[in-house]
Amino acid sequence: MTAPRLEIDLEKIQHNARVLVQRLAPHGVSVTGVTKACLGSPEIAGAMVRAGVQGIGDSRIENIEAMRRAGIQAPMTLIRSPMPSQTDRIVAAADISLNTEVDVIAMLDTAARRAGTTHGVVLMVELGDLREGIMPSDVVAIAQKVLCFPNIVLKGIGTNLACRSGVSPDAENMAELSVLAESVESATGVPLDIISGGNSANLSWIFGGADTGRINELRLGESILLGCEPLIGEPIDGLFSDAFTLVAEVVESKIKPSKPWGEIAGFTTEVQAQFGDRGQITQSILAIGHQDTYPDGLSAPPGIAILDATSDHLVIDSGDIHTPVGAEIRFQPNYAALVRSMTSPFVTKAMKGQGESVVPGKISQIEAPNGFITPIVPQPAPRSAIGLSAPG
């Protein structure tokens, strides 16, 4: 099969989502499955829906539109603050969006009126991470304004921590969100459906036996897709951390010196002296690079060390492992590597374990010997992968 490719085990993703849905239910917390790291894949969204998530969230309207076209029926939430230029598309494809700006909500109201529909709004509250959010002291006043828009439904409030500054969800900030929910309800007399406590970084807090107060929803991406808790970076007990495997192919395999020679530009002689000389090594080049993934986010198999990466090459020391040209090496991607590989047009996506297909017959497939299925889908137009950092 062609490389590089991302092998995606839909049954493992479905298992992860189901376990998280079941573990959160006793806490009165439901799950919105977040697909932003997988280019809004309808197959992955379908696996999450079969596992019992109550809705799907994505940061990009393009992804939400693609899932809608593919027949995903679950409620859809746009989890990034809407762009004013996209409000017509947002009210058409998404049921709810997370918002912080009254001016944008006014535009969503106008767009919804034009479209003869209504649009749900969750107001995001700033609780210290300093990414999106209304300052807590302004939440009640803004909720009152939102209630004046005839085509907007105030669905609830939420927050997002641990994405920009790494601020952890804890008893204090989560209790503050609950208190704010009560304040909005008592000031407006309108009950809130959704109190969205955060993302995968909230799991340690909840499973640590926290009082969840009014929090009744989490938006989970990384924990479902990679079985990983982002704060400590540890695998979550009982979940698969290998639902995604990135496979790359060897195009050069040689014994070479470990230390470069010649005049070396760009480094002082002191730095150059630090280039260790480990003698001769077994160096292989894989045909994968920054255009295909985030090389720093790859875990290599035991015995293989990643030495360097350029746009198109990954240089490895394969030690005692025989890696002739044509050999395939399998890596586990972290969240940043996953998002870059999912969005790279150069990486083939091979799905396994489709279960009941979301849209029967929509995607034609070839079956490979190892059971992975390569969907024959038009490649997306190349888009820039430059400047992408860790999602979240």
Ligand X SMILES: *Cc1c(COP(=O)(O)O)cnc(C)c1O
Q: Are strands 76-78 and 96-99 parallel, antiparallel or unpaired?
A: parallel
Q: Which is nearer to ligand X, 220 or 329 (CB)?
A: 220
Total residues in contact with ligand X, by rule CB under 6 A: 17
Instruction: Give strand pairing partners of 125.
Output: 134, 159
* Among 170-178, 197-205, 308-316, 339-347, the segment contacting ligand X (CB under 6 A): 197-205
199 is an interface residue for ligand X by CB under 6 A: yes
The binding track of 229-268 with respect to ligand X, each residue x by CB under 6 A or -, is -x--------------------------------------
Q: Which is nearer to ligand X, 18 or 219 (CB)?
A: 219
Choose which of 33, 46, 221, 297 interacts with ligand X (CB under 6 A).
221
The C-alpha atoms of residue 377 and residue 22 are separated, in whole angstroms, by 34
Residue 202, CA distances (Å) to 80, 262, 303 in order: 18, 51, 35
Q: By Cβ distance, which residue is nearest to ligand X?
A: 221
222 is an interface residue for ligand X by CB under 6 A: yes
226 is an interface residue for ligand X by CB under 6 A: no
Q: Which is nearer to ligand X, 321 or 390 (CB)?
A: 390
* Among 99-107, 198-206, 209-217, 269-277, the segment contacting ligand X (CB under 6 A): 198-206
Question: In angstroms, what is the minimal distance from the CB of 392 to ligand X?
Answer: 4
The C-alpha atoms of residue 292 and residue 348 are separated, in whole angstroms, by 10
Residues noted as catalytic:
36
5 is an interface residue for ligand X by CB under 6 A: no
Q: Which is nearer to ligand X, 289 or 392 (CB)?
A: 392
Choose which of 16, 160, 253, 334 interacts with ligand X (CB under 6 A).
160
Which residues, numbered 56-95, are part of the site for ligand X (CB under 6 A)? 59, 79
The C-alpha atoms of residue 258 and residue 120 are separated, in whole angstroms, by 58
* Among 166-174, 213-221, 284-292, 349-357, the segment contacting ligand X (CB under 6 A): 213-221
Question: In angstroms, what is the minimal distance from the CB of 237 to ligand X?
Answer: 17
200 is an interface residue for ligand X by CB under 6 A: yes
Element (H, E) at 179: helix 171-188
Neighbour-count burial of 178, counting CB atoms closer than 10 A to its CB (0-12 exposed, 13-18 middle, 19+ buried): middle
Q: Which is nearer to ligand X, 59 or 341 (CB)?
A: 59
The C-alpha atoms of residue 191 and residue 157 are separated, in whole angstroms, by 11
34 is an interface residue for ligand X by CB under 6 A: yes
Token look-up 């494809």 returns 93
The C-alpha atoms of residue 391 and residue 58 are separated, in whole angstroms, by 12
Cβ(127)–Cβ(159) below 8 Å: yes
Neighbour-count burial of 381, counting CB atoms closer than 10 A to its CB (0-12 exposed, 13-18 middle, 19+ buried): exposed
Go through the chain and tell me how many residues it has. Answer: 392
The C-alpha atoms of residue 19 and residue 239 are separated, in whole angstroms, by 7
Q: Which is nearer to ligand X, 35 or 374 (CB)?
A: 35
Element (H, E) at 321: none
Q: What are phi and psi of 209, to 5 degrees?
A: 85, 25
Q: What residues line the site for ligand X (CB under 6 A)? A: 34, 36, 59, 79, 98, 160, 199-201, 219-223, 230, 391-392
